[in-house]
Structure 1
Amino acid sequence: MSLFKRLLNPKKNKASEKEARGKYYPEEKLPIDEKFTYNFNKNGGKFLYCENLEEILEAFDNILMENDWYEKDVFCINEQLTSRFDGFNLNFSKKGKATFFLSTCESLVANNGSILLSSNQMKEKKLNELPDNIVIFATTSQLVDTISEGLRIIKMQQKGKIPSNITTIQDFESKKEKDFMSYGSSTKNLYLLLLEDL
Structure 2
Amino acid sequence: MSLFKKIFGSSSVPSQEENQSEYNTNHHSNLPVDELFTFNFKKNGGKFIYCENLDEVKEQFENILEENDWFESEALCNEAKLFNLLDENKVIYLNTKQPKFLLAGCENLIADEGSVLFSSNQIKQLKPNELPDNIVILATTSQILESKSDGLRVIKKKYDKDYPTNITTIKYFEKVQDEDFLTYGSSAKNLYLLLLEDL
Scaled by the length of structure 2, the TM-score of the pair is 0.83
SS at match of 1:90: coil
Q: Residue in 1 aligned with 2:30? A: 29
SS at match of 1:55: helix
Question: Residue 35 of structure 1: CA displacement?
Answer: 0.1
Contact 1:136 1:190 in 2 (8 A): yes
Q: 2:116 is aligned with what amino acid?
A: I
Contact 2:44 2:174 in 1 (8 A): yes
Q: Residue in 2 aligned with 1:154? A: 155
| CA distance, structure 1, for counterparts of residue 127 and residue 134 of structure 2 | 14
| CA distance, structure 2, for counterparts of residue 95 and residue 69 of structure 1 | 14
Q: Residue in 2 aligned with 1:142? A: 143
Q: Residue in 1 aligned with 2:52? A: 51
Q: 1:147 is aligned with what amino acid?
A: K
Contact 2:74 2:99 in 1 (8 A): yes
CA distance 1:184–1:176, change in 2 (3 Å) = same
SS at match of 2:93: strand
> For 1:74-119, what per-residue CA distance to the aligned partner results, in whole angstroms no more than 9, with x for missing partners?
0001111002442111111365741000000000000010000000
Unaligned ranges ≥5, structure 1: 1-14, 19-25
The yes-or-no answer on 1:73 pairing with 2:113 is no
| CA distance, structure 2, for counterparts of residue 154 and residue 94 of structure 1 | 29
SS at match of 1:92: coil
Contact 1:77 1:94 in 2 (8 A): no
In the TM superposition, 1:63-142 aligns within 5 A as 63-93=64-94, 97-142=98-143
Contact 1:77 1:93 in 2 (8 A): no
Q: Residue in 2 aligned with 1:11? A: none
Contact 2:74 2:96 in 1 (8 A): no
| CA distance, structure 2, for counterparts of residue 117 and residue 166 of structure 1 | 6
Q: 1:40 is aligned with what amino acid?
A: F
| CA distance, structure 2, for counterparts of residue 185 and residue 159 of structure 1 | 30
Q: 1:152 is aligned with what amino acid?
A: R
Q: Residue in 2 aligned with 1:171? A: 172
| CA distance, structure 1, for counterparts of residue 192 and residue 97 of structure 2 | 18
| CA distance, structure 2, for counterparts of residue 139 and residue 180 of structure 1 | 32
SS at match of 1:197: coil
Paired residue total: 176
Contact 1:56 1:195 in 2 (8 A): yes
Moved more, 181-190 or 76-85: 76-85
| CA distance, structure 1, for counterparts of residue 176 and residue 150 of structure 2 | 29
Instruction: Report the RMSD for the aligned CA atoms in angstroms.
Output: 1.9
| CA distance, structure 2, for counterparts of residue 30 and residue 145 of structure 1 | 11
Q: 2:145 is aligned with what amino acid?
A: V
Scaled by the length of structure 1, the TM-score of the pair is 0.84
Q: Residue in 2 aligned with 1:9? A: none
